[in-house]
Amino acid sequence: MNDILNVALLGLIEGITEFLPISSTGHLLIAEHWLGARSDLFNITIQAGAILAICLLYRQRLWRLASGLGEAEPRRYAVKLLVAFAITSVLGLAVSQAGFKLPTEITPIAWALIIGGLWILLAERLIANKPEVSEIAWHTAVLVGVLQVVAGMFPGTSRSAATIFVALLAGTTSRAAATEFAFLVGIPTMFAASGYELLKTLKTGQTHENWSLLGIAFAVSCLTAFIAVRWLLGYIRTHRFTVFAWYRIALGLALLLGLPAGT
């Protein structure tokens, strides 16, 4: 029963934090210090649960893109998503092949939360009062692809925060447009990461995962992400992201002040 509650709680944390700009990986690693560490396959698979929620929420947008490829505008947008995903795939594979491992200590996560919070405050200040631009430029797609990899290397950074705010600073001043692009490019990115990790696990024969528990966490993550993203999409229509910046800074400071040195 404790195992079920633990994985359900991790799925809940993942679902809530994956698309809010507060870092799902950072929150999961913090939680695992008390609930017990989980495999990379577990963490990436429950992220895929959250991505499934995005597919459901954006199903009409995805259908319009797929059915409108014969038209110039949908085709350009789809190619920009493909460019961002391709850059993430190439760089992410290079990082993986180099043997990079995520840091699990809480101190660097705390600093990433604080720095990311300051990044959000700065970005919001820089785009304030600028005319709204919804177009995703080609250089923005490239930067989003790069920032997805950078965010993945530093837990606490937040993939959604990095990609949304690099898009905003690169010229897409519409929060809704920047958020949509960041979320849509996350669909192939996270599904590919989950598939890659699953194949790697099966290839090595290290399949010690409890698939029932993983399924529970996946379902909880999907449901909570669906609710969280629906709320977020409504919230950003009339609000800035500032509240998330202050949350990140407060959590990072609390972690730095409350943990033993070297943790």
Q: What is the pLDDT of residues 236-247, one digit of tens each?
A: 989 999 999 999
Taking alpha carbons only, the member of 131, 165, 155 closest to residue 252 is 155
DSSP state of 130: P
Q: Is the pLDDT of residue 216 over 60?
A: yes
Q: Is the pLDDT of residue 138 over 50?
A: yes
Q: What is the pLDDT of residues 84-112, one digit of tens each?
A: 999 999 999 898 888 777 777 888 999 99
**Distance of alpha carbon 228 from alpha carbon 226, whole angstroms:** 6
Taking alpha carbons only, the member of 95, 135, 113 closest to residue 22 is 113
Residue range 5-22: average pLDDT? 93
Asked if the structure places residue 52 within a domain, the reply is yes
* Start-to-end Cα distance in the chain: 29
Asked if the structure places residue 263 within a domain, the reply is no
Percent of residues, the chain, with pLDDT higher than 70: 97
Burial status of residue 97 (CB atoms within 10 A of its CB: 0-12, 13-18, 19 or more): exposed
Q: Is the pLDDT of residue 219 over 80?
A: yes
Q: How confident is the model at residue 26 (pLDDT cuts 50, 70, 90)?
A: confident
Q: What is the pLDDT of residues 184-215, one digit of tens each?
A: 999 999 888 888 877 877 777 666 778 899 89
Asked if the structure places residue 11 within a domain, the reply is yes
Q: Is the pLDDT of residue 81 over 90?
A: yes
pLDDT value at position 262? Answer: 47
**Distance of alpha carbon 247 from alpha carbon 250, whole angstroms:** 5
Q: Is the pLDDT of residue 143 over 70?
A: yes
- Tokens representing 118 are 């300051």
Total tally of structural domains belonging to the chain? 1
Helix (H, G, I), strand (E, B) or coil at 175: helix
Asked if the structure places residue 211 within a domain, the reply is yes
Q: How many helices (H) and strands (E) does the chain have?
A: 11, 0
Q: Which domain holds residue 50?
A: 2-258
Q: How confident is the model at residue 33 (pLDDT cuts 50, 70, 90)?
A: confident
The model's pTM is 0.89
**Distance of alpha carbon 8 from alpha carbon 119, whole angstroms:** 31
DSSP state of 68: T
Asked if the structure places residue 92 within a domain, the reply is yes
